[in-house]
């Protein structure tokens, strides 16, 4: 028998023969960009007949409307979450091998601390004994009529020798004290670390809820139940390490994911699936409403009507949802239109641990590499890799850490890249490629800029100097203004002529491409002229 039932919070539970208490084990998690579907396995012994099964270890933030139950050998009735009159619950993690080992580490660390403290106490006892002996010898005074010169001499020598020995013992004991105190500090640090490690393993929210299920067992024996529920406080996002090898013209992309969950319970050794589906996001298209427009007589005494286009306020209109990229996958699979990645091997994610990193795979691509120079804005050129995603997979939006020749040069929020698409990624400044944009001297005393009431002229000299030991493929960018009015005429001259105008689809952006050898310098002269009719003002 195999049944699937939905939550029936409002249905009364029938009178049952008895209550069976059971615990669950998390076996699988499907993690979404926001939220997670958790699958739990419940095993227990049940006599034949009707019973009330009480599963006592669901997290308090379980979504009640998204609980689903299946069982291969039970008839399932009404079920509901209970938050009061719950039975006492011991921590289900107390008998795990990891927690037992962590507890043993704490016990050993406490013993080590006691031993180190005992060593310090023994040294202090030696110091106190030597100091007491010195005090006794200092207070010793000879008395009696039998005291002779010979006896006094012998007593003085004996006291002096014993005083010297006591002082030496005190100094020796004091010399042993610093390393013993250091040992105590080290032992305390070991104990603190062991306690923290045990706390991380055993962390569990004391606030929990229980799931009450009406069941009927056909016969005595072992029974099994699968519980699937949804939690909001979990997330994942892609992360990349992008390593550029300029000489080999290769880009290595190491892909991974950052996982966080705050469910109140640990996920230990679960089967993890990452999904691009967004259960919490907008699921239907936005609504368009009729837009009534009206005009009024300019001389009316009625209310002033705004000329701007208005959007009607609708209380029940669906809000716009923030779009989230698709899943980063080493071996993607499709569930309808949704891309998922099934992580190989069991995964453990403790509650409250932020950005646990899980490694996926690596992709190797061949980018086009150039030095890009913008003399009007920068003083050095920058290394730019133009990347075409020639893999069949989508590179998802996420954080990318950038390495150039194995050195970390920065990080960016990578916007993502569809299969076949192209993007530019900057890999830091090239300090040996120096840039300058200057206005040359003229006989009139102006510095490359002349302006009248109907005309404006400007001349600039762009200079790129290669102080490195390598030749560089270089792209220099500058700009001229553009006009959409017939009255405003704009012209320019450049020496050498630009390789491309309106670069990257941007009007007025000029591009020069050339190779610059080591030690060489390249100059570009750019002049522009703006002309407009008398009586008009340039803006």
9: containing domain: 3-92+204-232
- The answer to whether residues 155 and 273 belong to one domain is no
Residue 31 inside a domain? The answer is: yes
CA torsion 297-303-306-310 (nearest 10°) is -110
pLDDT interval class at 153 (50, 70, 90): confident
Task: Examine the pLDDT at 389 and tell me if it is beyond 70.
Answer: yes
- The whole-number average pLDDT for the span 346-375 is 89
Residue 420 inside a domain? The answer is: yes
Three-class SS state of 116: helix
Which of the pair, 65 or 453, is modelled with greater confidence? 65
For the chain, the average pLDDT equals 80
Give, in degrees to the nearest 5, the angle at Cα 459 between 453 and 460.
140
- The answer to whether residues 253 and 355 belong to one domain is yes
Three-class SS state of 496: coil
pLDDT confidence of residue 534? 87
Task: Examine the pLDDT at 365 and tell me if it is beyond 60.
Answer: yes
- The whole-number average pLDDT for the span 304-313 is 37
The secondary structure of residue 65, as a DSSP letter, is G
Residue 295 inside a domain? The answer is: no
With contact defined as beta carbons under 8 Å apart, do 21 and 87 qualify?
yes
- The answer to whether residues 340 and 363 belong to one domain is yes
Give the residue from 186, 202, 218 where a domain finishes. Answer: 202
First to last CA, the chain: 80
Q: What pTM did the predictor assign?
A: 0.60
- The answer to whether residues 261 and 340 belong to one domain is yes
pLDDT interval class at 344 (50, 70, 90): confident
Which of the pair, 153 or 482, is modelled with greater confidence? 482
- The answer to whether residues 250 and 351 belong to one domain is yes
Q: Is the dihedral of CA 129, 131, 132, 137 positive or negative?
A: positive
CB within 8 Å of 47: residues ≥ 6 apart: 217, 220
Residue 313 inside a domain? The answer is: no
- Residues 511-534 pLDDT 10s: 999 999 999 999 999 999 989 888
Q: Is the dihedral of CA 303, 308, 311, 313 positive or negative?
A: negative
- Rounded Cα distance between 380 and 375, Å, is 8
- The answer to whether residues 64 and 177 belong to one domain is no
Three-class SS state of 487: coil
Task: Examine the pLDDT at 157 and tell me if it is beyond 80.
Answer: no
- Rounded Cα distance between 53 and 24, Å, is 12
Three-class SS state of 298: coil
Task: Examine the pLDDT at 342 and tell me if it is beyond 80.
Answer: yes
CB within 8 Å of 1: residues ≥ 6 apart: 71, 72, 73, 74, 75, 218
Short-list 59, 65, 52, CA closest to 22: 52
Please return the burial class of 381, using the count of CB atoms within 10 Å of its CB with bins 0-12, 13-18 and 19+: buried
What φ, ψ does residue 357 adopt, rounded to 5°? -95, 130
According to DSSP, the residues that pair with 50 across neighbouring strands are: 216
Domain tally, the chain: 4
pLDDT confidence of residue 379? 95
Nearest-Å Rg of the Cα atoms of the chain is: 40
- The answer to whether residues 358 and 270 belong to one domain is yes
Q: Where are the beta strands (DSSP E) in 298-421?
A: 333-335, 338-342, 347-349, 356-365, 368-373, 380-388, 398-404, 407-414
- The answer to whether residues 108 and 193 belong to one domain is yes
- The answer to whether residues 481 and 525 belong to one domain is yes
Give the chain's length: 539
How far is CA 53 from each of CA 19, 213, 215, 229, 513, rounded to the nearest angstrom?
6, 5, 7, 17, 75
- Rounded Cα distance between 279 and 31, Å, is 11
- The answer to whether residues 191 and 154 belong to one domain is yes
Residue 296 inside a domain? The answer is: no
pLDDT interval class at 124 (50, 70, 90): confident
- Residues 10-54 pLDDT 10s: 334 444 458 899 999 999 999 998 899 999 999 999 999 999 999
With contact defined as beta carbons under 8 Å apart, do 33 and 278 qualify?
yes
Region of residue 206 (phi > 0: left; psi between -120 and 50: alpha; otherwise: beta): alpha
- The answer to whether residues 110 and 239 belong to one domain is no
- The answer to whether residues 330 and 411 belong to one domain is yes
- Residues 403-431 pLDDT 10s: 998 899 999 999 989 889 999 999 999 99
What φ, ψ does residue 536 adopt, rounded to 5°? -105, 155
Residue 23 inside a domain? The answer is: yes
How far is CA 194 from each of CA 55, 111, 180, 265, 267, rounded to the nearest angstrom?
32, 12, 21, 20, 21
How far is CA 273 from each of CA 64, 337, 438, rounded to the nearest angstrom?
22, 16, 58
Give the residue from 180, 202, 224 where a domain finishes. Answer: 202
- Rounded Cα distance between 416 and 426, Å, is 15
């Amino acid at each position: 028998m195999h049944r699937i039932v939905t939550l029936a919070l409002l249905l009364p539970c029938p009178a049952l023969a008895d209550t069976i208490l059971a615990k669950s084990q998390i076996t699988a998690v499907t993690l979404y960009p926001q939220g997670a579907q958790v699958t739990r396995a419940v095993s227990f012994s049940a006599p034949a007949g009707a019973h009330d099964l009480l599963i006592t270890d669901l997290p308090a933030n379980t979504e009640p409307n998204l609980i689903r139950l299946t069982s291969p050998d039970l008839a399932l009735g009404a079920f509901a979450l209970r938050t009061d009159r719950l039975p006492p619950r011991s921590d289900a993690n107390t008998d795990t091998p990891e927690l037992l080992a962590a507890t043993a580490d704490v016990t050993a660390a406490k013993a080590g601390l006691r031993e180190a403290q005992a060593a310090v106490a023994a040294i202090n006892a030696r110091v106190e004994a030597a100091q007491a002996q010195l005090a006794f010898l200092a207070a010793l005074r000879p008395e009696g009529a039998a005291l002779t010169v010979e006896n006094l001499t012998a007593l003085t020598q004996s006291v002096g020798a014993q005083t010297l020995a006591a002082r030496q013992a005190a100094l020796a004991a004091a010399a042993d004290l610093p390393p013993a105190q250091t040992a105590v500090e080290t032992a305390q640090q070991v104990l603190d670390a062991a306690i923290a490690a045990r706390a991380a393993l055993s962390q569990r929210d004391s606030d929990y809820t229980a799931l009450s299920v009406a069941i009927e067992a056909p016969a005595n024996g072992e029974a099994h139940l699968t519980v699937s529920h949804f939690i909001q406080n979990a997330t994942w996002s892609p992360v990349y390490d992008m390593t550029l090898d300029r000489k080999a013209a290769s880009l290595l992309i190491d892909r991974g994911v950052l996982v966080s969950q705050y469910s109140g319970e640990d996920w230990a050794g679960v089967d993890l699936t990452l999904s691009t589906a967004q259960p919490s996001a907008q699921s239907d298209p936005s609504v368009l409403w009729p837009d009534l427009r009206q005009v009024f007589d300019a001389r009316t005494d009625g209310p002033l009507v705004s000329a701007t286009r208005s959007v009607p306020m609708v209380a029940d209109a669906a809000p716009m949802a923030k779009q989230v990229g698709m899943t980063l996958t080493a071996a993607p699979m499709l569930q309808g239109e949704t891309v998922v990645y099934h992580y190989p091997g069991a995964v453990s994610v403790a509650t409250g641990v932020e950005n646990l990193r899980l490694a996926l795979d690596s992709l190797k691509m061949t980018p086009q590499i150039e030095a890009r120079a913008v003399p009007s804005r920068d003083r050095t050129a920058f290394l730019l890799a133009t990347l075409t995603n020639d893999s069949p997979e989508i590179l998802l939006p996420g954080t990318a850490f950038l390495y150039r020749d194995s050195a970390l040069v920065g990080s960016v929020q990578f916007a993502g890249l569809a299969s076949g698409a192209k993007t530019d990624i900057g890999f830091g400044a090239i300090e040996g490629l120096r840039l300058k944009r200057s206005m040359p001297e003229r006989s009139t005393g102006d510095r490359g800029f002349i302006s009248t009431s109907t005309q404006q002229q400007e001349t600039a000299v762009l200079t790129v100097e290669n102080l490195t030991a390598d030749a560089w493929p270089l792209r220099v960018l500058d700009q001229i203004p553009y006009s959409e009015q017939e009255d405003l005429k704009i012209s320019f001259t450049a020496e050498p002529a630009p390789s491309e105008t309106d670069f990257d689809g941007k009007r007025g952006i000029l591009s020069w491409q050339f190779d610059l050898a080591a030690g060489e310098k390249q100059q570009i002269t750019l002049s522009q002229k703006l002309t407009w009719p008398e009586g008009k003002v340039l803006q």
